[in-house]
Amino acid sequence: MLLASPFRSLRFARAALVIGVLGACAATTALAADGTIRQWQLVKAAKGYDLALKEVAQPTPARNQVAVRVHAVSLNRRDLLMRAGNYGLGSVQEGGVPISDGAGEVIAVGPGVKRFKVGDRVAGIFFERWIDGARTADALASARGGNASGMLSEVVVGDPEGFVKIPSHLTYEEAATLPCVGVTAWDALFKRGRIEPGQFVLLEGTGGVSVMGLQLAAAAGAKPIITSSSDEKLNRARKLGTFGTVNYKTNPEWQKEVRTLTGGVGVNQVLEVGGQDTLPKALQALAFDGNIAMIGGLSGFASNVPAGQLLGLGAQVTGIYVGSRADFEALNAFIAKHKIKPIVDRVFEFKDAPAAFAAMEEGEFFGKIVIRL
Ligand SMILES: NC(=O)c1ccc[n+]([C@@H]2O[C@H](COP(=O)([O-])OP(=O)(O)OC[C@H]3O[C@@H](n4cnc5c(N)ncnc54)[C@H](OP(=O)(O)O)[C@@H]3O)[C@@H](O)[C@H]2O)c1
């Protein structure tokens, strides 16, 4: 394994324009002809991990494996926590490749592969071995960018069962946003929440899960209400079919405003990403028999179970941890049917991956941050 050389002008001189499926042009870099690829790795630092750009031999698929030329990855909060060495569920290995979510093109198939052919447009599933049905400990131990190798690599190889075809109307950048937040929002609303048209859906903040949840809820004929600390972001959300918006920063009692927007009945579904600061307020905004999907802890994880409140409301609280490949395929079918375009706020070049991590840390984005490879 070689350290990335700063004198790689030959490789960069061969930067090529690739024509996307829809005829749109996306700048991408050609692979080197010397049999190496570039990938970012996590290397141990005094605190957590640093990102290091490395050159490694291009992997070739063995029997029952595919090789995928990754064209785009998207960042999740988990990727920051992994890098900081602070993620509670699973951990990275020294030299591990970060980032769970990526999309690209199949460039080679090993003997025995029937699921894909060269040229297929695919995305990696979040848990490489969670195909369908109930989760297992083994499936949960196969999360990309954690226990399993991630997608921030020009080429990845793996079991074809760990990939899905992506909807044809999506660019690679858009498709790369789906494996984690897309499947999470899908599971929360459709599988656990059993969303129905006309229901009120509460989305907290305008990050990846919430904006995708907003788009899915709107497409399902529900009435999404979204909060944000920024009026400008709320303006952007209005263009995606929101029923109502509330600024949680200027209106600390935002849950009252949310309830008022529902005519007093409360929201039927909550994608609970805020954690300890938001859960008590979300409960105050919840309708009888409402569903709270426990997803995240942006303000820290809540610890007290408000038993009396849950009982009185008849509330359903469901823990969500992304989902299976079958869930991803169901999401893709819905996205294709409704021609949903996931919101990509900013695209960084591969060489600027650390800047993409920094931008995610700063929080000045709406929807998703993507890196193009
Ligand atoms: N369980 C799972 O399977 C799963 C899957 C995906 C994510 N998660 C977790 O869910 C959470 C959200 O993930 P994400 O990818 O959507 O994050 P993200 O994209 O980083 O979202 C950041 C946004 O959330 C909003 N926010 C931050 N603190 C908030 C608070 N206290 N109250 C309300 N909104 C707040 C802000 O929106 P504004 O700027 O608009 O204020 C911020 O820009 C994270 O904790 C993540 O780890 C869990």
126 has a pLDDT exceeding 90? yes
CA of 76 to the centre of ligand 1 (A): 9
Q: What is the pLDDT of residues 172-231, one digit of tens each?
A: 999 999 999 999 999 999 999 999 999 999 999 999 999 999 999 999 999 999 999 999
Give the number of the atom of ligand 1 that is nearest the alpha carbon of residue 297.
Answer: 45
Q: The tokens 């080197």 sit on which residue?
A: 32
Give the number of the atom of ligand 1 that is nearest the alpha carbon of residue 322.
Answer: 3
Task: Take atom 45 of ligand 1 and give the residue whose Cα is closest.
Answer: 296
Give the number of the atom of ligand 1 that is nearest the alpha carbon of residue 78.
Answer: 47
pTM: 0.92
Task: Take atom 22 of ligand 1 and give the residue whose Cα is closest.
Answer: 207
Sheet order of strands, 200-203 included: 244-247, 223-228, 200-203, 267-272, 286-294, 316-319
Name the average pLDDT for the chain: 91
| Rounded distance between C-alpha atoms, residue 206 and residue 246, angstroms | 11
Give the number of the atom of ligand 1 that is nearest the alpha carbon of residue 367.
Answer: 19
6 has a pLDDT exceeding 60? no
Q: What is the pLDDT of residues 64-94, one digit of tens each?
A: 999 999 999 999 999 999 898 877 666 777 8
Token representation of residue 154: 């020009």
Q: Which residues line ligand 1 (CB under 6 A)?
A: 76-78, 180-181, 184, 204-210, 228-230, 233, 248, 273-274, 277-278, 295-299, 320-322, 363
Q: What is the pLDDT of residues 21-79, one digit of tens each?
A: 333 334 456 888 889 999 999 999 888 899 999 999 999 999 999 999 999 999 999 99
Average pLDDT over residues 108-114: 97
CA of 59 to the centre of ligand 1 (A): 35
CA of 306 to the centre of ligand 1 (A): 22
Ligand 1, pocket-test mutation among 183, 204, 298, most atoms within 8 A of CB: 298
Residues 6+ apart with CB under 8 A from 367: 177, 206, 207, 208, 211, 212, 342, 343, 344, 345
For 53, 55, 82, 92, 99, the CA distances from 42, given in Å and listed in that order, are 9, 13, 9, 8, 10
pLDDT at 13: 37
4 has a pLDDT exceeding 50? no
User: Which CATH fold topology does 182-319 show?
Assistant: Rossmann fold (3.40.50)
Where are the chain's structural domains? 2-177+342-372, 182-319
CB-count exposure of residue 69 (10 Å: 0-12, 13-18, 19+): buried
Ligand 1, pocket-test mutation among 211, 270, 273, 294, most atoms within 8 A of CB: 273
User: Which CATH fold topology does 2-177+342-372 show?
Assistant: Quinone Oxidoreductase; Chain A, domain 1 (3.90.180)
